[in-house]
């Protein structure tokens, strides 16, 4: 009994000083009152899974297996990894977004460089004083950091809150992505725990479409467009099947006859199998809340 209580306390304790909390509340699509099929992701801009198998081939076998060590230690990441886990689902690989729904991050980041601002204005035939450009760049940087911390009208606030080290790491990569001279030499490496990785992915990617809790839809309700809540995912799929669904795709049963069809959920092929397993572990150890 004491050992069980000790394990429970250990699971709920802060991870290396980073407090991990359950995901909660409605999806971000619910907040902005937008159905999935009216988003860039829902308009087939994403990569979808394999075609549906024949009914006799159901259920499909898991194709991807995560590492054999479920309690793996902290992993070394950089800003590119944080961008991948937190920003890429909306803003894309190169940060250009998906107009007109999602804005690019490139121009706002470039505006924080006085040197780039001066160069751009001179190409337009406007001579700008470097001191004035520096003041404008500082204001642009404050505005951008405020948006990173608070979100925007259609951009959710960052959750979990970034640590100082995570902010420095992500900011360094955003500067590199925007092509600011010398940024590639200023990248910051950080150490993240698996549960923290899972929390980043769930709250910044999965929670865009999936609510934290709710009714677990039937095959017929899936056909009608209902999206399963996060608290049902670990019961709907075993670990290897869950990992397969995230990184390569997996068919689903839909309609009153529960016929296998190609899944509607985009494939996040930029996640590793271990990172997808971190999502499963996080949802299991920190059950989503209302």
The string of DSSP letters for 103-158 reads --SHHHHHTT-HHHHHHHHHHTT----HHHHHHHHHHHHHHHHHHHHH--SSSPPP
- Helix (DSSP H) and strand (DSSP E) numbers for the chain: 14, 4
- Shared domain for 121 and 217, answered yes or no, is no
- Shared domain for 255 and 183, answered yes or no, is no
What is the residue-averaged pLDDT of the chain? 85
Task: Specify the pLDDT at position 2.
Answer: 33
- Shared domain for 222 and 267, answered yes or no, is yes
pLDDT in tens, 78-93: 999 999 999 998 888 9
Q: Are 256 and 220 in contact (CB under 8 A)?
A: yes
Q: Number of folded domains in the chain?
A: 2
Query: Where among 126, 157, 192 does a domain terminate?
Result: 192
Better-predicted residue by pLDDT, 107 or 156: 107
Task: Specify the pLDDT at position 71.
Answer: 53
> How large is the average pLDDT for residues 42-54?
74
**Per the domain annotation, does 200 fall within a domain?**
no
Does the pLDDT value for residue 131 go beyond 90? no
**Max CA distance (Å), the chain:** 76
**Per the domain annotation, does 146 fall within a domain?**
yes
> How large is the average pLDDT for residues 184-198?
94
- Shared domain for 60 and 91, answered yes or no, is no
Q: How far apart are CA 7 and CA 258, in angstroms?
A: 40
244 is in which domain, residue-wise? 15-68+212-290
pLDDT bucket at 5, cuts 50 / 70 / 90: very low
Task: Specify the pLDDT at position 68.
Answer: 59
Task: Specify the pLDDT at position 10.
Answer: 36
Does the pLDDT value for residue 109 go beyond 70? yes
**Per the domain annotation, does 23 fall within a domain?**
yes
Length of the chain equals 290
Share of the chain above pLDDT 70, in %: 89
pLDDT in tens, 215-274: 999 999 999 989 999 999 999 999 999 999 999 999 999 999 989 998 888 899 999 999
Share of the chain above pLDDT 90, in %: 48
Does the pLDDT value for residue 183 go beyond 80? yes
**Per the domain annotation, does 10 fall within a domain?**
no
- Shared domain for 150 and 54, answered yes or no, is no
**Per the domain annotation, does 109 fall within a domain?**
yes
pLDDT bucket at 37, cuts 50 / 70 / 90: confident
Does the pLDDT value for residue 151 go beyond 90? no
- Shared domain for 220 and 287, answered yes or no, is yes
- Shared domain for 83 and 187, answered yes or no, is yes
**Per the domain annotation, does 273 fall within a domain?**
yes
Q: How far apart are CA 108 and CA 103, in angstroms?
A: 10
- Shared domain for 268 and 224, answered yes or no, is yes
Give 257's DSSP letter: T
- Shared domain for 81 and 183, answered yes or no, is yes
Query: Where among 146, 162, 192 does a domain terminate?
Result: 192
- Shared domain for 108 and 167, answered yes or no, is yes
- Shared domain for 147 and 252, answered yes or no, is no
pLDDT bucket at 125, cuts 50 / 70 / 90: confident
- Shared domain for 53 and 136, answered yes or no, is no
**Per the domain annotation, does 49 fall within a domain?**
yes
Task: Specify the pLDDT at position 41.
Answer: 65
**Per the domain annotation, does 2 fall within a domain?**
no
């Amino acid at each position: 009994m004491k050992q069980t209580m000790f394990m429970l306390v250990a699971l709920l304790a802060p991870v290396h000083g980073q407090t991990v909390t359950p995901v909660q509340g409605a999806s971000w699509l619910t907040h902005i009152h937008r159905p999935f099929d009216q988003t860039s992701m829902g308009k087939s801009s994403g990569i979808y899974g394999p075609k549906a198998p024949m009914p006799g081939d159901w259920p499909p076998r898991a194709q991807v297996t995560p590492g054999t060590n479920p309690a793996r230690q902290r992993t070394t990441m950089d800003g590119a990894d944080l961008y991948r886990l937190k920003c890429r689902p909306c803003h894309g690989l190169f940060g250009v977004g998906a107009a007109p729904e999602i804005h690019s991050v490139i121009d706002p980041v470039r505006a924080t460089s006085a040197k780039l601002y001066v160069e751009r204005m001179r190409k337009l035939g406007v001579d700008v004083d470097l001191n004035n450009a520096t003041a404008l760049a500082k204001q642009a940087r404050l505005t951008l950091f405020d948006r990173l911390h608070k979100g925007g009208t259609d951009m959710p606030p960052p959750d979990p809150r970034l640590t100082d080290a995570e902010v420095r790491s992500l900011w360094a990569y955003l500067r590199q992505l925007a092509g600011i001279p010398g940024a590639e030499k200023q990248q910051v490496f950080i150490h993240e725990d698996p549960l923290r990785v899972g929390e980043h992915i769930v709250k910044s990617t999965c929670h865009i479409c999936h609510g934290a809790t709710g009714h677990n839809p039937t095959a017929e309700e899936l056909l009608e467009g209902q999206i399963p809540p996060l608290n049902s995912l670990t019961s709907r799929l075993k670990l290897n099947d869950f990992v397969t669904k995230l990184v390569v795709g997996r068919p689903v049963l839909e309609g009153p006859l529960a016929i296998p069809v190609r899944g509607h959920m985009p494939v996040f092929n930029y996640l590793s199998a271990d990172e997808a397993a971190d999502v499963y572990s996080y949802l299991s150890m920190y059950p989503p809340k209302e």
